């Protein structure tokens, strides 16, 4: 019997470790971490010059 509404969607499945989506998510996480670190360094530099 064909289910019209499956119990789960493709979006709920975890991507495999080497899938394109997993690589994109990893790169995005790395980028966010780098930009957060850079912004903190800039804040620290501002306070150290005062």
Q: What is the mean pLDDT of residues 37-45?
A: 89
Q: Tell me: pLDDT of 32 over 80.
A: yes
Residue 30 has pLDDT above 90, yes or no: yes
**pLDDT at position 39 over 60:** yes
pLDDT above 90 for 17: no
Q: Is the pLDDT confidence value at 29 over 90?
A: yes
Using CA atoms, how far apart are residues 27 and 33, in angstroms rounded to an integer?
10
pTM assigned to the model = 0.51
């Amino acid at each position: 019997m064909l289910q019209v509404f499956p119990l789960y969607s493709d979006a709920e499945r975890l991507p495999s470790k080497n899938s394109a989506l997993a690589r994109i998510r990893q790169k995005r996480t790395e980028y966010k971490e780098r930009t957060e670190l850079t912004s903190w360094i800039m804040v620290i530099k501002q306070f150290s010059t005062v």
